[in-house]
Structure 1
Amino acid sequence: MNKTRQKIHDVIYEADTPAGKAFDILLIIIIIISVVLVALETVGWINEKYYSILNIAEWTVTILFTIEYILRVISIHHPRDYIFSFYGVIDLLATIPKYISLIFIGAQLETMMAIRALRILRIFRVLHISRYIGESNFLYRSLLVSRAKIIIFLLFVLIMCILFGTLMFLIEGPKAGFDNIPESIYWCISTISTVGYGDIVPLTGMGKFLASVLMILGYGIIAVPTGIISAEMVQSRKKVDVNTRVCAECMCDSHKDNAIFCHQCGSHLDDDK
């Protein structure tokens, strides 16, 4: 990889340098603008009155995304690794809708807007800014370690909803809107989550008693997952690597702060050396 490609790679894929940070911040601003444009186009009177302005702005964003996508592809050794990665697919979907609308004139406007709305997923790139990557990695690791406890807890909640839903069907019955067990389980879930739409309500004293128990349990159920994750975060708190260096060979981005070589493929992280 020559020095020009290495420089492009360092700016686009890494945020440890002033140029890299500036690029990431500019990219996030453009992403937010693009999502706002998609939202505004769904407002009828705004789209009719300012269609020309919105169209020009949309083409400007599309061209900028296209240039960025091309630079990302040409600045790495194996473009396939980026093209078929999560971010690569999202970046492509964020770029092509405007071009598709030129090829297929009759393409559904709603479909194009839905695809362009996927641009909001690109906001996850903020997690690659060195200021935030340490905390995001720490949160991800805490969630990963806590997943077994959370899954067991959710299974317990599901069993409880099935049990209480069945009881409410037997106690209240169709006269109160509990037409079947699935409907009763739906009511139980909306009650235990403290949402309570009110489309189905118990009428008998026993039903109201069970509903009150579920409401009280709901507050605890909301707090338990938070407590599980918080406890894990307190126990596993330690220094987290905050660099954003990306290997140009294999696209690995989980390196130690003082790493010189990629721990996955062994390539020199400063490829021009």
Structure 2
Amino acid sequence: MATSAPSFQVRDSQRYGRPESGWRLRLYTIIFEADTRAGRLFDVALLLVIIASVAVVIADSIASVHARWQTQFQVFEWIFTIAFTIEYIARLACVRRPLRYALSFYGIVDLLAVLPTYLAILVPEMSALIDVRILRLLRVFRIFKLAEYVDEFGLLGQALHASRRKIFVFLIFVMLIVMVMGTLLYVVEGPANGYTSIPVGIYWAITTMTTVGFGDITPQTDLGRVIASAMMLIGWGTLAVPTGIVGAEFTLRRAASSSQPTTRTCHECLSEGHSPRARFCSDCGAKLPPYQHEAAEAR
């Protein structure tokens, strides 16, 4: 486990509402905080269950494996569904703003992790409208639950959000290039060589710029091949631009996150976010308990 709790866990107490006392506080500490031994064990156990459930969904999509282990897969699926249902209800029960959590990204992912199994039973006539395999595909949303336990996912999301304007401007620039080059190929090659319209030329420009090159349509004239060569070279440079934008923001976010507080909580006033090296609460002045990560490392 990391030596400091993910920064999004600090924000969860403000976003969803941290209970003040009782069994809800104890449950909240286990589910949403990672500084305690029980919280770390819960996170590790849930990670293993998520990975196992996704592996079952993937294996169940293989026809030969499904035919042989169909009954076992159904049993495992119900075990995972019941486990995720209990976890979802526990998360809603231990926060003061359950609706806010239910409408959050992770709340929706938690719901999608269990909803398909119940839909297949409660609404059997849906099989006439929606193939059961679509419901199985929805279960793969469980993989997004992994993001809640890896701090780098949060940093990447922040980097993408901070870079959204630059990326938007870059995408507009790319669209202008593919429209101009696609129109140019339509004029140069014409319908005789497969470029029957400007949208077809734009499709070719997109596949060429992204270095995919399906080969279903290619320029036949010398001038068209020169334009295609230029598009390929532009494609190499185009791929590097968004990588640099997001990479720079990710580095800045990662450096800033190293100084962010943890979920360390004062047992007297229940305020959290104290530094691992703090000895007393910054709000009420009470003595803080030993930081769990440091205690674990010492053992």
> Would the TM-score normalized by the shorter structure come out above 0.5?
yes
| Identical counterparts, % of pairs | 38
Q: Does 26-35 or 179-188 show the bigger shift?
A: 26-35
What SS does the corresponding residue of 2:256 show, helix, strand or coil? coil
Once the two structures are superposed, residues 173-192 of structure 1 have per-residue CA deviations (whole angstroms, 9 ceiling, x without a partner) of: 11111110001001001001
Aligned-pair distance for 1:210? 0.3
- Please point out which of 190, 214, 217 is paired with 1:197: 214
Give the residue type in structure 1 aligned to 2:108.
V
> C-alpha distance in 1, partners of 2:253/2:91?
35
Q: Deviations over 1:52-94 (max 9, x none)?
A: 1111111111111111111111111222122222211221221
* Alignment partner, residue 89 of structure 2: 70
Query: What CA deviation, in whole Å up to 9, does each residue of 1:229-262 have, x standing for no partner?
Result: 334455676331263579xxxxxxxx85549799
136-145 or 57-66, larger mean C-alpha shift: 136-145
| TM-score between the two structures when normalised by the length of structure 1 | 0.82
Q: State the match for 1:164 in structure 2.
A: 181
Which residue is equivalent to 1:8?
Answer: 27
Partner of 1:55: 74
1:46 aligns with one of 48, 51, 65: 65
110-119 or 139-148, larger mean C-alpha shift = 139-148
What are the Cα deviations for residues 19-51 of structure 1, in whole angstroms up to 9, with x where unaligned?
Answer: 212211211211121112122222222112111
Distance 1:77 1:159 in 2: 49
Q: Tell me the matched-pair count.
A: 248
- Corresponding position of 1:125: 148
**Structure 1: gaps spanning 5 or more residues:** 128-132, 247-254, 263-273
Q: How far off its partner does 1:123 sit?
A: 2.1
Report SS of the residue matched to 1:50.
Answer: helix
1:84 to 99, 103, 109: 103
For structure 1, which segment, 75-84 or 200-209, has the greater mean C-alpha deviation from structure 2 after superposition? 75-84
Mapped partners of 2:224, 2:46: distance in 1: 55
RMSD (CA atoms): 2.5
Residues 154 and 105 (structure 1), Cα distance of their counterparts in 2 relative to 1, 3 Å cut: closer
Q: Which amino acid aligns with 2:173?
A: F
Give the TM-score normalised by structure 2: 0.75
Among 165, 184, 207, which residue is 2:201 paired with?
A: 184
Residue 251 of structure 1: aligned partner: none
Separation (CA, whole Å) in 2 of partners of 1:173 and 1:197? 19
* Structure 2 letter corresponding to 1:102: I
Q: 1:238 to 1:16 in 2, by over 3 A?
A: same
Q: 1:14 to 1:236 in 2, by over 3 A?
A: closer
> Is the CA contact 1:15–1:244 (under 8 Å) kept in the aligned structure 2?
yes
Please list every run of 5 or more consecutive structure 2 residues that lacks an aligned counterpart in the other structure. 1-18, 266-271, 284-299
Give 2:228's match in structure 1, choosing from 211, 236, 248: 211
2:286 is aligned to none
Q: Which amino acid aligns with 1:202?
A: P
